Amino acid sequence: MSALNIKKGSSSHSAYELRDPNGELIESHTLAVVVDNESGVLARVIGLFSGRGYNIDSLTVAEVDHEGHLSRITVVTRGTPQVIAQIKAQLDRLVPVHEVHDLTAEGPSVQRELALFKVSGKGEARIEALRLAEIFRANVVDSTLESFVFEMTGTPEKIDAFADLMRPLGLREIARTGVAALSRGA
C-alpha cells in the first residue's frame, strides 16, 4: 500500500473530526416545570423524554399549590443547546404544563439534594467515617454496633464527594432524592 499524499495544512484524520468542537457541547440543565396535579401528567412529561431518547439525570416531583392543584417537576437533563431548546419547546406544548423554566439559563439558582448513606465498619474505619461526616455536616440518623446511616443535604457534587470518600470505609447503600432547585433573587 502506498503512502498517502497529504498536502500541507490538511489532516490525515477522519472527516468526522472536522466538525466544530463547540457545536457538540453537552451541557447539564435544570428545568422547573409547573404542571396540573392530576393522574397521568408525570407519565406524559416523562414519556416526552423517553420517546425521544433524552436522558434524565435527576427527577423530583411534589405538589406546590394545594388549592390550585399544581405540582412542580424538577428535571436535570443533558444535551446540546439545540436539544435543550427542543426539550423546553416540547414541554411547553403539553396541555397540563403551565410554566417551563430553565434554571441553568435564567441565572443563578440554589440546588440541593438529600441523601442517606449506610456505612458499615469497625475500629478505625468507623471513627474515620464519623470524622468525615462531621466535616461534611452529615447527621447520624441511625446507629448500630456495625453500621451508621448518615443524612446529608447539599449540591449533587458534595454528595458525590462524600460517597467517594465513604466507599473505602464501608459504604453499603445510598438513597438520593434528586435535585430540588429554585432561582435566586426576586
**Please, are residues 162 and 117 in contact by the beta-carbon 8 Å criterion?**
yes
Domains 27-106 and 109-183 belong to one CATH topology: yes
How do residues 35-82 score in pLDDT, each as one tens digit? 999 999 999 999 999 888 999 999 999 999 999 999 999 999 999 999
Q: Half-sphere exposure (CA, 13 Å, Cβ side) for 41? A: 21
Q: How many CB atoms are closer than 10 A to CB 169?
A: 19
User: Following CA atoms 101, 103, 104, 106 in sequence, which dihedral angle do they give, to the nearest 10 degrees?
Assistant: 80
Backbone torsions φ then ψ of 64, nearest 5 degrees: -115, -15
Confidence of residue 185 (pLDDT cuts 50, 70, 90): confident
| Residue 127 reports pLDDT greater than 50 | yes
At the fourth CATH level, the homologous superfamily of domain 109-183 is ACT-like. Chain A, domain 2 (3.30.70.1150)
**Please, are residues 164 and 117 in contact by the beta-carbon 8 Å criterion?**
no
How do residues 21-41 score in pLDDT, each as one tens digit? 555 789 999 999 999 999 999
Residue type, 49: F
How do residues 80-103 score in pLDDT, each as one tens digit? 999 999 999 999 999 899 999 999
Q: Where are the domains of the chain?
A: 27-106, 109-183
Confidence of residue 182 (pLDDT cuts 50, 70, 90): very high
Q: Which class would CATH give 27-106?
A: alpha beta
pTM: 0.78
Identify the pLDDT of residue 164. 97
Close Cβ partners of 151 (under 8 Å, ≥ 6 residues apart)? 114, 115, 116, 138, 139, 140, 141
**Please, are residues 119 and 173 in contact by the beta-carbon 8 Å criterion?**
no
